[in-house]
Amino acid sequence: MPELPEAETIVRGLRRAVVGRTIASARVIRPDVLRQPLATFRRNVKGRRITSVERRGKNVVHVLDDGSVVAVNLGMTGRLLPFPGPPKGSRRPRHAAVIVRFQDGSVLVFDDVRRFGTVEALPGDVWARRSDGMGPEPLDPSLRSPRLHASLATSRTPVRSWLLDQRRIAGVGNIYAAEALYLAGIHPQRPANRVTRAEARGLLRSLRTVLRAAIDHGGTTIRDYRDAEGGSGAYARKLYVYGCEGEPCRRCGTSIRRVVFSNRSAFYCPSCQS
């Protein structure tokens, strides 16, 4: 599932491709990706100009000229692909769910194999309230380690699960939670309220290190993720523990282990993480 670095990479690519363009029409091929009536979506976007493309957590947010937004959650396999004109032949996405056509003839396609992603056009105040329900951005300089520690201290849930809760902190998924916990030396099943102040400081530092590095490499492609140009993310070869079960730890040589809890796999080094 695309996480913060993948969404950020897509946003940066889309800014070059769609900002300033006016929506002529929206064709919805798979209505099940919409979180609102089809007629409402079409009415809310037609004739609107995209003024910016932003990211909130794992969401790609197209800001329109009337202050409303088109919010896209990529789900597990969603992709946002811009084209200078209607794609044809081998370039045509095989699982297009929504096709937005701009007045200059260019096209933006939301392609989603499994259709767990969502698209909706919302008034600005509605989106603001939804955004307020999400946790802080881990890369926001205003997030300091005492705040992170205070929030961790209120929960007995395993710290890996805590990191995946978008109400606690926005944008972190299973890949980068595993990597950050490894760098911070914290076992993924340790209760969140047993993370010390010093460890919370290290965890925030590790989160930022991993997320920034992943953004610099265009995200992580395990299977389906592609950026706005259709390219793969290059961070997979940098991973310390995620997907590395049985491989030697880069620090100590101990075999990386996998444990499943809350229906999700977690990867860790039994020697380096406690």
The answer to whether 171 and 143 are in contact (CB under 8 A) is: no
Would residue 2 show up in a list of annotated catalytic residues for this protein? Answer: yes
Catalytic entry in 2, 5, 82, 138: 2
Would residue 120 show up in a list of annotated catalytic residues for this protein? Answer: no
25 forms beta bridges with 101
Catalytic entry in 3, 8, 137, 179: 3
Would residue 58 show up in a list of annotated catalytic residues for this protein? Answer: yes
Reading the chain (274 residues) residue by residue, the pLDDT tens digits are 789 999 999 999 999 999 999 999 999 999 999 999 999 999 999 999 999 999 999 999 999 999 999 999 999 889 999 999 999 887 889 999 999 999 999 999 999 999 999 999 999 999 999 999 999 999 999 999 999 999 999 999 999 999 999 999 999 999 999 999 999 999 999 999 999 999 999 999 999 999 999 999 988 866 555 545 566 567 888 999 999 999 999 999 999 999 999 999 999 999 999 9
SS3 183: helix
Report the pLDDT value the prediction gives residue 249, as an integer from 0 to 100: 98
Report the pLDDT value the prediction gives residue 231, as an integer from 0 to 100: 62
Find where tokens 């909130």 sit: 56
Catalytic entry in 144, 257, 264, 270: 264
Domains by residue range for the chain, with CATH: 4-132 (3.20.190.10), 145-268 (1.10.8.50)
Q: Using a CB cutoff of 8 Å and minimum separation of 24, what contacts does 81-86 make?
A: 81/108, 81/109, 81/111, 81/226, 81/228, 81/230, 82/13, 82/14, 82/17, 82/18, 82/106, 82/107, 82/108, 82/109, 82/228, 83/107, 83/108, 83/109
Query: pTM, whole model, 2 decimals?
Result: 0.92
Catalytic entry in 56, 58, 79, 168: 58
Report the pLDDT value the prediction gives residue 123, as an integer from 0 to 100: 97
Order the strands of the 23-28 sheet from edge to edge.
23-28, 96-102, 107-112, 78-83
Would residue 88 show up in a list of annotated catalytic residues for this protein? Answer: no
Sign of CA dihedral 132, 136, 142, 147: positive
Report the pLDDT value the prediction gives residue 225, as an integer from 0 to 100: 53
